[in-house]
Amino acid sequence: MMIEWPAMSLATGPGEVTNRTLRDSIRPGVNHYDPVFLDLFARTCDLLKQVFRTEHDVVILQGETVLGMEAAAACLIGPGDRVLNLVSGIFGKWFEQFITRNGGETIELAVPYDDAVDPQQVRDALRRHRDVKFLSVIHSETPSGTVNPIEEICGVAREFDVLTIVDTALGLGSHPFHTDAWGIDVAVAGPQKALGGVPGLCPTAISPRAWEVMERHPRPVRESYLSLLDWREAWVRHRGFPYTPSVSLVYALESVLAQVLEVGLDRYIGRHATIGRACRAGIRAMGLQIWPAREAIACNAVTAVKVPAGVDASRLVTHMRDRYGVKISGGYKELAGKLFRLGHMGPTAHPAYLAALLAVLERSLLDVGHRVTLGAGVGGALAALEDWA
């Protein structure tokens, strides 16, 4: 039997894209050295600079966000380099393998996976470990639905002249992010979450200081899919490519960035903030609890919800998809069974999608045996939408 497509994809990314993005992604195929594509690629990089809020170099790695984090580690971290790795969730912990693989020494600063890193703890750690060269951190942890105070953390790193590597796959577009003003040296993003695009590319912003460190690496990474230096030499300096780029994915990326900036970046982020707050209000109105330890660290693009007693999270997620056609996400790895996650990002950061999502969640909870008042969550969310713009 053929499995039907979901009526709504409201998981934690990738998810729904606009009709404009779909149309733009199927523009005519063209050689990557054709002037029209070179112009489009350059325009996409300029749009990325606006979204990253940077005047520094931007490259578009031809792979998913993980490629960018692995490339940053390979190109920056050398044998014996000490890295303060901030761990507030599964992806933060995952970065340790990249540090180790490149001969670095990890100093871990960890908090529970429902919490965020305290900048003062970062300052204390850097005072204890004066030889730390790099700091790595996840802006917003998708598995936990939490967000770290990146501005303050990177400010502390600057105090100690520590180079920063930030994964903002979920954060860019859903929370404020100022690459240059906050002194971020390498920022790694992805188009498939809050920007509302499709997966397969990894936009990366790189500071002059980061380039210098890569050049001084004892074994600079060159002639490799992980080489950021190859991208600088090929694209930044000579408007060429180190290998054939994914033309149709670049079409889609250019489209979503243009759409974001047409809305206005601050307004676009504000929409995510409004929908995030409204979703959490709706969850509480149902009598459920959000996973983050406090409201201030809750992500704008993903709401993580504690599984209520007596409910099988996997069954709930499957039931919503199979019976009502609404795809959400369960818990990931060690958080499986403890929470489920609702995506409201890109085009789905909108009141219409939110109302439908919460209505189906209410019905599904009743179906699996958990008592909830129909309409409570939807009403709670709609009451919190007064600042929608």
Task: Please give the pLDDT value at position 1.
Answer: 65
Task: Please give the pLDDT value at position 156.
Answer: 98
Write down the architecture of domain 19-262 according to CATH. 3-Layer(aba) Sandwich (3.40)
Calpha distance 127→109 (Å, rounded): 13
Domain borders along the chain are 19-262, 265-383
pLDDT digits (tens, 9 = 90+) for 68-113: 999 999 999 999 999 999 999 999 999 999 999 999 999 999 999 9
* CA gyration radius, the chain: 21
CATH topology match: 19-262 vs 265-383: no
Average pLDDT, the chain: 97
Q: Which fold has domain 265-383?
A: Aspartate Aminotransferase, domain 1 (3.90.1150)
Task: Please give the pLDDT value at position 389.
Answer: 85
pLDDT tops 80 at residue 2: no
pLDDT tops 90 at residue 302: yes
